[in-house]
Structure 1
Amino acid sequence: MATHEEEHAGQPNGDDCHTSKVRKSHHSDEFKNGLGNRLNRIEGQIRGIKGMIERDTYCDDVLNQLAAVQSALNSVGKVLLEGHMKSCIIERIEAGEHEVIDELLVTVNKLMK
């Protein structure tokens, strides 16, 4: 799996989504903290599932917890996708970088698998 830097190598340098060699978002601290909090909860759920398996918890109970984690991850993805579309995508389209639509479609297809 390629690193973020490898995936975006060779792109122009700058400070925002559409011009940096290593593209970066520029979301607010509140937005990032919200995502971080959600991911921390998910991380705790994963540790809980690991413990359930170690304790030989009934498989159906573990599977239900896995479904909850998958739902939580999907929720994080939706929030991040919305933020991406409302910031980076719009900026790149306004800058004439219409290839960002193809990039977005690839990403959405990955999220929908």
Structure 2
Amino acid sequence: MSNSECHTHGYIEEKQRYLARLKRIEGQTRGIHRMIDEEQYCIDILTQISAVNSALKNVAFGLLEDHLAHCVKEAADLGGDELDAKLKEVSDAIARFSKA
């Protein structure tokens, strides 16, 4: 099992929910595009951008939670280098996410 692999992805059970959330975010993003095209008020556009950012963060936190509960747990059960690799992977992902 490599750093990017897990026997089962933790999000699979919630896949349809994630896809629905991402579809809503996609619609919100198109709405922002339309607002700019229609030259709407800056603060209203910024409010919508904030809502999209929040929605994406919620998706990311959910995926992170699923990853910890499944892939990292699986690596912990195996122990050794697998666990070290998964913990480093999660740490790096959190660091990347926190920069955004």
For the pair 1:38 / 2:27, whether they are aligned, the reply is: no
State the SS of the aligned residue for 1:80: helix
Letter in 1 for 2:65: E
Compute the TM-score of the two structures, normalised by the length of structure 2.
0.85
Name the one with the larger helix percent: 2
Indicate yes or no: 2:71 matched with 1:88.
yes
2:6 partner amino acid: C
Structure 2 segments unaligned to the other structure (5+ residues): none
From 81, 84, 90, give the equivalent of 1:104: 90
CA RMSD of aligned residues (A): 1.9
- Cα distance in 1 for partners of 2:96, 2:11 equals 22
Q: CA 1:104 to 1:25, structure 2 compared with 1: closer, same or farther past 3 Å?
A: same
**Quick one: higher RCO (CA 8 Å, sep 6+), 1 or 2?**
2
Identity of aligned residues (%): 39
> How many residue pairs end up in the alignment?
94
